[in-house]
Structure 1
Amino acid sequence: MNSRTSAPVTASRIAVRWAIAAVVVIALLVGGALAANRLLFSPQQQVASLQQYLAAGDGARALGLMQAAVPKGDAVALDGEVLKRTQDGITDFTVDAAVPSDKDPDLRLVTAHYKAAGVDKESTYTLRHTGKNWLFFDTWAFEPSTLPTVKIKANTVNEVNVNEQAIPLKAGTSTLPVFYPAVLDASFSTKNFQADTRGVVVTGVGKQPVQIALKTQPTKEFIASISTKVKKYLDGCATQQVLMPSGCPFAYNTTARVDSSSIKWSIDKYPTIDVSYYNGAWILAPLEVKASVNLVEQDLRTGAKEAKKVTEKFSFTAHLTTSTTEVSVVPVAGGEQAAR
């Protein structure tokens, strides 16, 4: 009976096998390191990390990663809940592969694409290759820069709401340093004045601040308050049983004798209130009132008496003094200021 015997395994063969295994392991490690370098230690990964910090409201880590200087202004949008709210409108954030810069071989440009309040936008970041760790892993750093700013303007009020946060104004303006991308919405509403929400999208650093100019409009309560004060003034004028009520816009001239007890003024149509903002103040447009006077006239020659009703339109103006919650109306009739 024939039997097959195995060739003896020599020490050299064992060494070769171990060497081959070692080479395979090293190749796998190198390949894994290179893959990790492309995925985890790339400039685009730095951009993705930055966006994660912003979405989490972690302004300190975002600022440190960007190596960005903070310009003067109200820093409320650079951290916490307000920062998170500037990112609420940023969706579908993706990052392109890094592109070498023509100016410097160590620089890479990374473009991110996203939707801001549903509109397609993009931002470009510049990063520099700063060396390697453990022979394989590249290190990248954002090129130092200065954060962009948003300048908010509003008249009449001392503060506005920006992304649900009250922001004080100085001389009608406020400047906010912001990260990018960012969506900022500004508005305000007081008893007398309001401004509809206006929003901006900040996509990068610019030479000039991004502007939000809020247009102040009077509220219905403001107009109603002025109307009430004007009506009260005119009603007071109508109580005077004279032909020319003092400090009032209406008057009646006649050469006949008039029994003062027969004089009775009435308002047929009150003025329409129309206000506008001009040269730093709210201006009330000229007012027109339709008034009637009932009286009995006596002819000086014949002594005959006649009951009459005379209706006319009269014009006057009024000065406004306003705040966000109060309004003072000072009518001006016949060159004289009437009582408030």
Structure 2
Amino acid sequence: MKSRISVPRLALRWATAAIIIVALAVTSAIVANRTLFSAEHAVESLHKHLIAGEGAEALGLMGAQVPQGDAVALDGEVLKRTQAGITEFDAQKADPSENDPDVHTVIAKYKANGVDQESTYTLRRSGKSWLFFDQWSFEPVTLPTVQIKANTVNEVAVNDQKIPLVKGVSTLAVFYPSITDASFSTKNFEADTRGVVVTGPAKEPVEISLKTQPTKEFIAQVNSKVRTYLNECAAQQVLMPSGCPFAYHTPSRVNPETIEWSIAKYPTIEVNYYNGAWVLSPLKVTAKLSLTEQDLRTGTLEKKTVNEQFSFTAQLTTSTSEVSVVPVAGTEE
């Protein structure tokens, strides 16, 4: 005997199934709105654009104002490098404002080169799509800047990208969070890498002041020029070599053929930056003199060897690749 389901009962089953499907759809929409269409998801999306080097997309999402300055860190490979040290990025649950429920604050926690940091974003609910899904817009901000200062050079490397300096300064607009590293290396001067972490907008630029140091090659050049100068002085077979820091005074008669200068100890080279220029610290040289003196009263001949220390200075004229050393004869100490 075949059983039959009445039409009303079948309609009830279909209605129940439809209600369940609608309920599941609504529940799924609510869950999606709280995750895929949440304020914190918008922050996560921004971060994905940054690590991908997609500066235009990130800027469009933020709607941020770009300050004056070099924009090299706002797109492409340089942007990617500013994000390389940002790890474990996690946008926390949005916190609604007490004064305006459409305004939410999202705190993103992360590590910057292994150090715990956080950034704060403010977003506004700007509408809905498909009735259920919130749309979020970042509240307008002006991107932060990093100001790089360095002396003696006209360009530096920022995250492996060379950028020009104007009177020793360059200002870069950056996203946040970001890590900006700066350094430079030339034939004569260099500066170790210094980096800053930018976590949010700021009225004043974050500064990187690079400490310039002479290279070993530069010191070697100066040392070589000073030694050449002293060797040329020692080659003069006179008691007072012309334009030189050392001299010998005696009331006795001296046969010029017996005069022999040599350098017993060369100066130690020390270069410092002072009043906008590189200067050479005062130099000390120990000169050795061998000669034969003749007493004017008795005519007696006496061989002598004298070691004396003398001081002098030298003027430096430098560039990133050249150096000029002009010694200035000094006095005996």
TM range (shorter): over 0.9
Unaligned runs of 5+ in 2: none
In structure 1, distance between residues paired with 2:100 and 2:296? 105
* Alignment-mate amino acid for residue 304 of structure 1: T
Q: Which residue number in structure 1 is paired with residue 117 of structure 2?
A: 121
1:20 to partner: Cα distance = 2.0
In structure 1, distance between residues paired with 2:294 and 2:99? 100
Deviation string, structure 1 residues 153-197 (Cα, Å, up to 9, x no partner): 111111111111111111111111011111121111111111111
Q: Which residue number in structure 2 is paired with residue 164 of structure 1?
A: 160
Of the structure 1 ranges 26-35 and 76-85, higher mean CA displacement relative to structure 2 is found in 26-35
1:12 to partner: Cα distance = 3.3
In structure 1, distance between residues paired with 2:173 and 2:14? 61
Q: Which residue number in structure 2 is paired with residue 202 of structure 1?
A: 198
In structure 2, distance between residues paired with 1:55 and 1:246? 66
* Alignment-mate amino acid for residue 15 of structure 1: A
In structure 1, distance between residues paired with 2:313 and 2:100? 69
In structure 2, distance between residues paired with 1:5 and 1:307? 143
Matched, 1:151 2:147: yes
Contact 2:311-2:330 within 8 A present in 1 as well: no
1:334 to partner: Cα distance = 4.5
Contact 1:297-1:305 within 8 A present in 2 as well: yes
* Alignment-mate amino acid for residue 189 of structure 1: S
Matched, 1:295 2:300: no
Matches for 1:99-114 after TM superposition, within 5 Å: 99-114=95-110
Matched, 1:184 2:184: no
1:10 to partner: Cα distance = 4.0
In structure 1, distance between residues paired with 2:128 and 2:308? 91
Contact 2:128-2:135 within 8 A present in 1 as well: yes
In structure 2, distance between residues paired with 1:12 and 1:291? 122
Equivalent residue in structure 2 for 1:306, among 284, 302, 306? 302
Equivalent residue in structure 2 for 1:141, among 137, 143, 148? 137
SS at match of 2:43: helix
Deviation string, structure 1 residues 237-265 (Cα, Å, up to 9, x no partner): 01111111110000011111111111111
Q: Which residue number in structure 2 is paired with residue 262 of structure 1?
A: 258
Contact 2:245-2:310 within 8 A present in 1 as well: yes
Matched, 1:321 2:323: no
In structure 2, distance between residues paired with 1:278 and 1:334? 21
* Alignment-mate amino acid for residue 154 of structure 2: N
Contact 1:247-1:334 within 8 A present in 2 as well: no
Contact 2:313-2:330 within 8 A present in 1 as well: no
Deviation string, structure 1 residues 22-41 (Cα, Å, up to 9, x no partner): 22221111111111111111
In structure 1, distance between residues paired with 2:182 and 2:272? 22
Q: Which residue number in structure 2 is paired with residue 237 of structure 1?
A: 233
Matches for 1:212-231 after TM superposition, within 5 Å: 212-231=208-227
In structure 2, distance between residues paired with 1:262 and 1:151? 64
SS at match of 1:21: helix
Q: Which residue number in structure 2 is paired with residue 338 of structure 1?
A: none
Deviation string, structure 1 residues 301-334 (Cα, Å, up to 9, x no partner): 1222211111110000000011111111000014
TM-score w.r.t. the length of structure 2 is: 0.96
Deviation string, structure 1 residues 54-96 (Cα, Å, up to 9, x no partner): 0100000000000001111111111001111111111111111
In structure 2, distance between residues paired with 1:265 and 1:43? 82
* Alignment-mate amino acid for residue 169 of structure 2: T
Q: Which residue number in structure 1 is paired with residue 169 of structure 2?
A: 173
SS at match of 1:145: coil
* Alignment-mate amino acid for residue 39 of structure 1: T
1:21 to partner: Cα distance = 2.1
Q: Which residue number in structure 2 is paired with residue 95 of structure 1?
A: 91
In structure 1, distance between residues paired with 2:282 and 2:264? 18
Unaligned runs of 5+ in 1: 336-340
Equivalent residue in structure 1 for 2:326, among 317, 325, 330? 330
In structure 2, distance between residues paired with 1:205 and 1:25? 46
Matched, 1:39 2:39: no
In structure 2, distance between residues paired with 1:166 and 1:131? 43
Contact 2:40-2:91 within 8 A present in 1 as well: yes
In structure 2, distance between residues paired with 1:334 and 1:95? 68
Q: Which residue number in structure 1 is paired with residue 44 of structure 2?
A: 48
Of the structure 1 ranges 21-30 and 82-91, higher mean CA displacement relative to structure 2 is found in 21-30
